[in-house]
Structures are given as C-alpha cells and as structure tokens.
Amino acid sequence: MNVLAVTSEIFPLVKTGGLADVTGALPKALARFGIRTHTLVPGYPSILALARLHPPLMEFDSLLGERATLRHLEIDGLSLFVLDAPSLYERAGGPYVDEHGHDHPDNWKRFAVLSLAGAEIAAGALPGWKPDLVHTHDWQSALTSVYLEHMGSDVPVVLTIHNLAFQGQYSSSLLSQIGLPPEAFTTECMEYYGDISYLKGGLTTAEHITVVSPTYAREILSSIFGMGLDGVLNARMDRLQGIVNGIDTEIWNPATDPYLPHRFDLKTVRNKRHNKAVLLERFGLEPGEGPLFSAVTRVTWQKGMDMLAEVADEIFHFGGKLIVLGQGDHDIQAALQETARRFPGRMAVSVGYNEPTAHLIHGGSDAIIQPSRFEPCGLTQLYAMRYGCVPVVSRTGGLSETIIDANDAALSARAATGFQFHPVRAEGLRQALRRAAETYRDKRKWARLQMQAMRADYSWDRSAERYAEVYTRLTGEAAQRAS
Ligand code: ADP
C-alpha cells in the first residue's frame, strides 16, 4: 500500500515537538506491514540543503499563485517529497516563527499551500505515483482533505490530532485566497465562530480521525478539553479513535545513544550515576547524593511549568536538585530562572532547544517531571522510562495511561512505573515530588521502580499495527465504493 503523509515537521530534519518524532518514526514502523510512506514536507532551509542535490520530480506552476518544485529525498529510512517554494519556506527562524519568535505572518498561506500540494499529489498530479491513502497531521496539513473533497477525489484521508490546542484559525476573508469556494464556509465544514478553522475543516472532511492516546480521545469530547471543537468531535465520534504514540527505540536507546558519555541497559543501569555526575557538572550544580529531577519540555501553561516554578523548593528540602531544559512562555521562563537564582547549586534552567542535551538529561536524571494540564500523549515520559528516569506526571491524557502510579498495591505487584497526581494543581505536584523523594531514599524500592519503568514497552510495534488496520479498512472501503 502507498501512503502519502503530509506534515509540517519530521525528525531528524525539523522538530519542535512530538509531532516530528511521530512522523519520523511511524513510516519506518509501518514498513513492516507492507506500507510504503512518502512524506510531503515544506522545503525549509535545513531540508533544502539536502533536497536540492536531487533533480526535480515535477513543477507546480501555481499553488495559490506560488511556483513550486517537488523534490525527492531519501534520508534515515524516510522517503520525502520536499515542496521547494522559496518564497514560503526558505527563510530564517523555525517552521512557524521567525528568528524573533513571532509567527510568520503568512502561515495561513504556507500551510494552505502545503495542504494543496498534498491534495494535488493525492489526486494524481505526480506522473507515475498515486497514493492509496493520505495521512495528515494537525492543522498545518488538515486542509488537504478539504481540497480533496472540493476536487471530487475519493482518496481516503486519515487526520491525526497531536494537539487540539493548535487549530489554524484565520479570518474568513482569506477563504478565496486559499482557493476554496464559499461552500466551505459553513458550520458543517470550516466555519468557526465567524472565522475559518483549518483543523475544523480537516475534522469535518477526513474519513477517519485519530488522536494520540485513547484517554485524550475521550477527554476531547468534553467542553473542558475539547477547545471549542468538542461539538464537531462528538458529531464524528464514530470515526474518532485514540492510538497511543510509540517511541523510536533505535534513536532512544540508552545502550547505544551517542549523546551519553556512559551508556547502559537494564543490567548496567548503575552507570547512570556517571551521567548524573556529568550532568550536574555541566549545569553548574553541586555534586551529591539526593535525587536529580529534570524537565525537558516546552515551557508553557499547558505543560504546567508555572506550577513547577511555584513548588520547586519542595525538591530542595529533600536534598534534591532540579534541571529544566526548555523554551516558550517568557513569564514562565523568568519565574523558573528566578527560582534557580534563589537556589544556586541546586537548580539550573537552560532556555533553548537542544536534542543532545535532552538525551543526556534522560540518561543522567533520576526522575522527569511532567505536570501537564492536558497532554494528548506525551513522549518525554516514554523516553524517560526507557532511560531509567522515573516520571512524575499529572494524571491526564496519555500520561494517565502510560504511567502506572507507585501506590502500595502497584508497588507490591511490581507494576508501578512512576508517580501521578490529580487534580492538576501545584499542591498535587508538591505532594507527588515529596512521594518521589521519599521513595528515592529507599534505594531498593527506587531501583525496582526504575527497572519496571525501563521494562515498559512503548515501541511502535503495537501502535503501528493499529494504524495499519485503519489504513487497510479505509482503503478497502474506498475500493468497495469504486466498484
Ligand atoms: P509536545 O509535542 O506537546 O511538545 P511531547 O512530549 O509529545 O510534547 O514531545 C516533545 C518532544 O520534544 C520530545 O521529543 C522532547 O524530548 C522534545 N523536547 C521538548 N523540549 C525540548 C527541548 N527544550 N530541547 C530538546 N528537546 C525537547
């Protein structure tokens, strides 16, 4: 089966979060099921440098008025279609923001063009290749199914929501500029409180919708987690499914990780302490015996980083230390930095995005803190477990189903893998940190917890099978419709 994936991020070429990890890993996991994925991505500078070494596959004369060249690039087991449209994607900054952190003002056009290119390829624009199914991801490629519907195409589309908080909402005056007819401006399609919503357009026109955990699939049907789209999601409940994310166990493998000064596996997990020493030194923290807690995350309200700034002192009462790696909201960053100033030698904050440091933090920390207010799946806790780093998490979304709380029953059943708290408030986090620090004092108990976390299997095998089932069902239905 041939699949066209359309995405705005893909690891290892361009990543701002979990979306890239998933789009980078899933094609490789699906290959085992006989599914060959080509992934359409924007030609950002980091991708163009490689893609332009190859001859063009085809030219688009006009995608919403822009000329574009389609190029092919094979990298790290991925097959990419790169949309080389310099006026839209060849610029400084990240995929969504400029070098000063401001949204690119034409994101509405950049991702409409990406989606339109996806739809045209799906409808047969590329000589000699046509997909059996299209897989879109988040609002940035959600318009693909809207375009396909208006083209009268019958190619089935799966839309995966990685985070409902980002919806691609723009003024309805842009409708004609993104090449869609007035009929698209209805509540049944993409009209959203007088504006247009790219994500809503995808939700109403995709054949099937997946979100990245079964718990989040239930949560988003409520007004609290539905972010204004719960009505639409309820209407499509029969086509909505949660499939938990996996992790790329080759990239995230403590036994082979090139970013770890000291590698380890289940048998040599004691080596972690050498990484811990390196980590403490690198972050200018005092050496010592207490637990090292860390957070690797976007620094946002969603991720509960404001709560962490509020209760970090709890960690230091127990002789613990804290490292935060992340970037995002300036006020929350400042609050974390201020706390670090009050506790020199015990807390360090690194503002930025750094993949090698993220690996080292997992390889050297005792525990990872993830106090998210909502969390569609969460990958950090999965990487942490594999690296023997015990997660301390809020009980929401994917966190609630991937972590088993270390209550007495779970501990004695040798099933526990971390600490959960609920409701998601600063006081709850404080108590969870206290529980973790107390457990850490009991070395045998902690070691058991760590081993159980390391044994948890979150490889892609099972989840890729779920996607393969969805693809098979949808292509079968499409074939029936055509016959
Ligand atoms: P989200 O996609 O909501 O940000 P996830 O937990 O699903 O959250 O995925 C986050 C991904 O981004 C993980 O791979 C994590 O390691 C990575 N990440 C987040 N912040 C940073 C950072 N500051 N430096 C390096 N990697 C980071």
Average pLDDT over residues 115-126: 98
Atom of ligand 1 nearest to the CA of 380: 6
Total number of residues shown for the chain? 483
> Which residue, judged by its Cα, is nearest atom 4 of ligand 1?
17
Considering the domain architecture, whether residues 402 and 473 belong to the same structural domain is answered as no
Share of residues in the chain with pLDDT > 70 (%)? 100
Considering the domain architecture, whether residues 242 and 121 belong to the same structural domain is answered as yes
Tokens coding 35: 């599914």
What is the per-residue pLDDT for 102? 94
Cis peptide bond N-terminal to 423, omega within 30? yes
Atom of ligand 1 nearest to the CA of 355: 25
What is the per-residue pLDDT for 392? 98
CA–CA separation, 229 and 231 (whole Å): 5
pLDDT by residue (tens digit) across 390-419? 999 999 999 999 999 999 999 999 999 999
> How does the average pLDDT of the chain come out, rounded?
97
pLDDT by residue (tens digit) across 325-384? 999 999 999 999 999 999 999 999 999 999 999 999 999 999 999 999 999 999 999 999
Considering the domain architecture, whether residues 405 and 428 belong to the same structural domain is answered as yes
Cα of 478 vs centre of ligand 1, distance in Å, is: 36
Cα of 171 vs centre of ligand 1, distance in Å, is: 30
Residue 258 lies in a domain: no
Residue 66 lies in a domain: yes
What is the per-residue pLDDT for 320? 97
CA–CA separation, 372 and 310 (whole Å): 14
Considering the domain architecture, whether residues 32 and 163 belong to the same structural domain is answered as yes
Q: What is the DSSP code (8-state) at residue 80?
A: E
Name the band, by pLDDT with cuts 50, 70 and 90, for residue 113. Answer: very high
Closest to 39 (Cα-Cα) out of 77, 87, 91, 90 = 77
Cα of 314 vs centre of ligand 1, distance in Å, is: 25
CA–CA separation, 302 and 325 (whole Å): 16
**Dihedral sign, CA of 327, 330, 335, 339?**
positive
Atom of ligand 1 nearest to the CA of 162: 2
Considering the domain architecture, whether residues 466 and 451 belong to the same structural domain is answered as no
Residue 261 lies in a domain: no
Q: What is the CATH number of the domain that holds 119?
A: 3.40.50.2000
Average pLDDT over residues 238-254: 97
DSSP state letters, 202-217: HHHH-SEEEES-HHHH
Closest to 402 (Cα-Cα) out of 426, 384, 422, 429 = 384
Q: Write down the H helix ranges in 5-106.
A: 18-31, 45-51, 86-89
Cα of 21 vs centre of ligand 1, distance in Å, is: 9
Cα of 60 vs centre of ligand 1, distance in Å, is: 34
What is the gyration radius of the CA atoms in the chain, in angstroms?
Answer: 23
> Which residue, judged by its Cα, is nearest atom 17 of ligand 1?
17
The Cβ of residue 260 has, within 10 Å, a number of other Cβ atoms equal to 23
Cα→Cα distances 68→42, 61, 76, Å? 10, 7, 25
Atom of ligand 1 nearest to the CA of 381: 6
> Which residue, judged by its Cα, is nearest atom 26 of ligand 1?
355
- Residue among 259, 296, 375, 458 to mutate when testing ligand 1 (max atoms within 8 A of CB): 296
Cα of 114 vs centre of ligand 1, distance in Å, is: 24
Cα of 380 vs centre of ligand 1, distance in Å, is: 6
Helix then strand then coil, in percent of the chain rounded to 5, is 40, 20, 35
* Structural contact between residues 197 and 246, judged by C-beta atoms closer than 8 angstroms: no
10 bridge partner residues: 14
Tokens coding 104: 């690119």
Share of residues in the chain with pLDDT > 90 (%)? 98
Cα of 432 vs centre of ligand 1, distance in Å, is: 22
Atom of ligand 1 nearest to the CA of 11: 14
Q: What are phi and psi of 213, to 5 degrees?
A: -165, 150
> Which residue, judged by its Cα, is nearest atom 12 of ligand 1?
17
The reply to whether the predicted model has a pTM over 0.85 is yes
The greatest distance separating any two alpha carbons of the chain, rounded to the nearest whole angstrom, comes to: 70
Considering the domain architecture, whether residues 326 and 199 belong to the same structural domain is answered as no
Cα of 376 vs centre of ligand 1, distance in Å, is: 13
What is the per-residue pLDDT for 427? 97
Considering the domain architecture, whether residues 217 and 323 belong to the same structural domain is answered as no
Residue 260 lies in a domain: no
Residue 251 lies in a domain: no
Q: Give the orientation angle of helix 443-455 with respect to helix 426-441, to 10 degrees.
A: 110
Residue 145 lies in a domain: yes
Give, rounded to a whole angstrom, the gap between the first and last alpha carbons of the chain. Answer: 18
Average pLDDT over residues 51-78: 96
Considering the domain architecture, whether residues 451 and 466 belong to the same structural domain is answered as no
Considering the domain architecture, whether residues 199 and 290 belong to the same structural domain is answered as no
Q: Is the pLDDT of residue 44 over 90?
A: yes
Cα of 265 vs centre of ligand 1, distance in Å, is: 23
CA–CA separation, 109 and 115 (whole Å): 10
CA–CA separation, 34 and 432 (whole Å): 44
Average pLDDT over residues 302-330: 96
If one counts the domains in the chain, the total is: 2
Residue 59 lies in a domain: yes
Atom of ligand 1 nearest to the CA of 15: 12
CA–CA separation, 60 and 56 (whole Å): 11
Q: Is the pLDDT of residue 288 over 90?
A: no
Considering the domain architecture, whether residues 338 and 352 belong to the same structural domain is answered as yes
Structural domain for 215, as ranges: 2-246+461-482
Considering the domain architecture, whether residues 312 and 438 belong to the same structural domain is answered as yes
Considering the domain architecture, whether residues 441 and 385 belong to the same structural domain is answered as yes
Q: What is the DSSP code (8-state) at residue 259?
A: T
Residue 403 lies in a domain: yes
Cα of 412 vs centre of ligand 1, distance in Å, is: 32
Name the band, by pLDDT with cuts 50, 70 and 90, for residue 285. Answer: very high
> Which residue, judged by its Cα, is nearest atom 18 of ligand 1?
297
Atom of ligand 1 nearest to the CA of 327: 23
Pocket around ligand 1 at a 6 A CB cut-off: 17-19, 21, 163, 296-298, 325-327, 353-355, 358, 377-380
Atom of ligand 1 nearest to the CA of 16: 12
* Structural contact between residues 40 and 68, judged by C-beta atoms closer than 8 angstroms: no
What is the per-residue pLDDT for 341? 98
What is the per-residue pLDDT for 371? 98
Cα of 251 vs centre of ligand 1, distance in Å, is: 14
> Which residue, judged by its Cα, is nearest atom 15 of ligand 1?
380
Atom of ligand 1 nearest to the CA of 245: 7
What is the per-residue pLDDT for 468? 98
